[in-house]
Structure 1
Amino acid sequence: MALLRSLLHLLWMGVTVVPYTLAILLCRVLGAPKTVLYPIARAWLALSIRAAHWFMGIRPRIQGMENLPTDQRQGVVLLCKHQSAYETFLMPAIMPRQLAYVFKKELLRIPFFGWSIGSLDMIHIDRNDGMRAFQKLVQQGQRLLDQGTWIIMFPEGTRIPRGQKGDYKSGGTRLAIRTGVPVVPIAVTSARVWPPKAFVKRPGVVDVSIGRPIPSQGRRPDELMQEVEHWIEAEMRRLDPDAYPPQSPEQAEAAAAHP
């Protein structure tokens, strides 16, 4: 049954992405501003989240929305745990502001999906460009933040299996420090029902916990990212304790020192 439900959801997404992409491309050809294109993409992402509930019994449970800034002039860099494709659909659907993902340019080659995100006002980079890629990130990130868009990044860089921790890279905190905006850590337990790169998904709840903004002024990128990492990983243990082995007294003490 889980296989059939997963197949139906995949087919549904493959069919529905076509008209939404064509709508985005048509608006682009007609010269519509990118601010018009984003709501079209967001509508499909929100519909995909609802379809995951309809077809596969997967639903989100969100806490911490009150931690997000309400000042329309306040930009933030969202730093999110990455376990599956689910959160890439979910974040634009639940956030009160327009989001810009930072993603590798290879995604632009995916038919329809890649064409859609390539038409939106987001940041695609070549990871092999090193410092030039970061300068592009800062330049475009500052422009987007100035116009009220929030930047979202996955600091581990790739999807991480349930109960594991990736290498947290400091690109997101470097961007926040250079642009003077706070970072917001986000924990997501999507791998509990939607394992990375798995075709068959299981019904259940995806817990999402949004932390309080952490100021970036006067901070070092590695030290700030370490604080983000400690918060996310501690929150992951709280939200999904069955996925992690018990902590030693030394580990528990270290975690308590970085709330």
Structure 2
Amino acid sequence: MLWLRNLAYWLLVVVITPPFFVVVMLSMLVPMGVNKTTTAWALTLLWLLEHVVGLKYRVIGRENIPAKPSVICCKHQSGWETLATQKIFPLQVFVAKRELFKIPFFGWGLKLTRTIGIDRGNPQRASQQIVEQGSKRKAEGLWITIFPEGTRIKPGYRGRYKAGAARMAQLLQMDLVPVALNSGEFWPRNSFLKYPGTVTVVIGTPIAYDAAPSAEALTRLCEDWIEAQQVEIQGAGPFALQPPQVPTPVISRS
């Protein structure tokens, strides 16, 4: 049954994506049209995951979502959160390394959706790109989503939190909204199969951009909150770390 559900999911994704691509091309003529149509595509996939695969979710802390555009600082365990954040939060853009823009189709799609591309090999230039592109997105009323660990981390572990999200928050004077989740326990990295169950998402109280004297200190505030929540929600899915670890082991990533 698991294989049949996943096969049906992927077949439906293949069927619906080409028509969505046509709509995306047409939506380029409308302000914010591409962002809205790609968000609709993401929400369709999220619906399929819930109703075909059986991968549901629950959100704790919706009341903590502020009214003004903010920087979403989110734990990253699978591809699920790249879809779900678009359902949970207002219209947003992601932050990604510029090298991804060179990937055919995928990279072009990132550019069309106004993704903030940064040069991670040049910190000074990256800060300039954050200010230049981030200021424009903020002025347009868009939220900004960033995964501070920089890559997907398997459940029960933590990556090295980079200060990019906090630096962006301080430079653009946007508060940080920390988000914890356990999606990787149901959607393993690079796996064809997604497993039924309920992902838990926890949204924290916004952290003011001036709550700490430096980007590093602000990052620690965000990291401490997220990782404390990870301990509370881990252990629910088939790919949870067994036995759960307290505190979570650290994976050092460059």
Q: Quick check: TM above 0.5?
A: yes
Q: Which residue of 1 aligns with 2:81?
A: 87
How many residues were matched structurally?
Answer: 242
Confirm whether residue 46 of structure 1 aligns to residue 16 of structure 2: no
Q: Which residue of 1 aligns with 2:139?
A: 146
Between the aligned partners of 1:146 and 1:180, the Cα distance in structure 2 is 12
Question: Structure 1: which amino acid aligns with 2:207?
Answer: I
Question: Structure 1: which amino acid aligns with 2:18?
Answer: V
Q: 2:61 aligns with which of 61, 64, 76?
A: 64
- The within-5 A match list for 1:171-250 is 171-217=164-210, 219=212, 220-241=214-235, 243=241, 245-247=244-246
Report Cα offsets for 1:170-224 as digits up to 9, x if no partner. 0000010111121010001101110111222211011101000011116211111
Q: Which residue of 1 aligns with 2:14?
A: 14
Between the aligned partners of 1:246 and 1:191, the Cα distance in structure 2 is 15
Between the aligned partners of 1:77 and 1:170, the Cα distance in structure 2 is 13
| Residue 246 to residue 24, structure 1, CA distance change in 2 (3 Å) | closer
Q: Is the 8 A contact 2:211 2:218 kept in 1?
A: no
Q: 1:122 aligns with which of 97, 115, 119?
A: 115
Q: 1:163 aligns with which of 151, 156, 168?
A: 156
With normalisation by structure 2, the TM-score equals: 0.88
Q: Which residue of 2 aligns with 1:75?
A: 69
| Residue 179 to residue 4, structure 1, CA distance change in 2 (3 Å) | same
Identity of aligned residues (%): 36
Between the aligned partners of 1:132 and 1:153, the Cα distance in structure 2 is 18
Report Cα offsets for 1:65-95 as digits up to 9, x if no partner. 110112xxx2311100000000001111221
Greater mean alpha carbon deviation, residues 202-211 or residues 5-14: 5-14
Between the aligned partners of 1:77 and 1:182, the Cα distance in structure 2 is 6
Report Cα offsets for 1:214-245 as digits up to 9, x if no partner. 11116211111111111111101111146363
Confirm whether residue 23 of structure 1 aligns to residue 17 of structure 2: no
Greater mean alpha carbon deviation, residues 42-51 or residues 210-219: 210-219
Q: Secondary structure at the match of 2:150?
A: coil
How far apart are 1:134 and its partner, in Å?
A: 2.5
Q: Is the 8 A contact 1:161 1:196 kept in 2?
A: yes
Q: Is the 8 A contact 1:78 1:152 kept in 2?
A: yes
The structure with the largest helix share of the pair is 1
| Residue 112 to residue 59, structure 1, CA distance change in 2 (3 Å) | farther
Between the aligned partners of 2:51 and 2:198, the Cα distance in structure 1 is 13
Between the aligned partners of 2:211 and 2:47, the Cα distance in structure 1 is 41
Q: What RMSD over aligned residues (CA atoms) do the two structures have, in Å?
A: 2.0
Between the aligned partners of 1:186 and 1:132, the Cα distance in structure 2 is 27
Between the aligned partners of 2:71 and 2:206, the Cα distance in structure 1 is 9
How far apart are 1:165 and its partner, in Å?
A: 0.5
Q: Which residue of 2 aligns with 1:32?
A: 30
- The within-5 A match list for 1:95-114 is 95=89, 97-110=90-103, 112-114=105-107
Report Cα offsets for 1:149-176 as digits up to 9, x if no partner. 1111000000000111011000000010
Q: Secondary structure at the match of 2:192?
A: coil
Question: Structure 2: which amino acid aligns with 1:19?
Answer: P
| Residue 109 to residue 59, structure 1, CA distance change in 2 (3 Å) | farther
Question: Structure 1: which amino acid aligns with 2:187?
Answer: W
Q: Is the 8 A contact 2:73 2:176 kept in 1?
A: yes
Question: Structure 2: which amino acid aligns with 1:15?
Answer: V
Q: Is the 8 A contact 1:83 1:159 kept in 2?
A: yes
Structure 1 unaligned spans of 5+: 253-259
Greater mean alpha carbon deviation, residues 224-233 or residues 134-143: 134-143
| Residue 19 to residue 156, structure 1, CA distance change in 2 (3 Å) | same
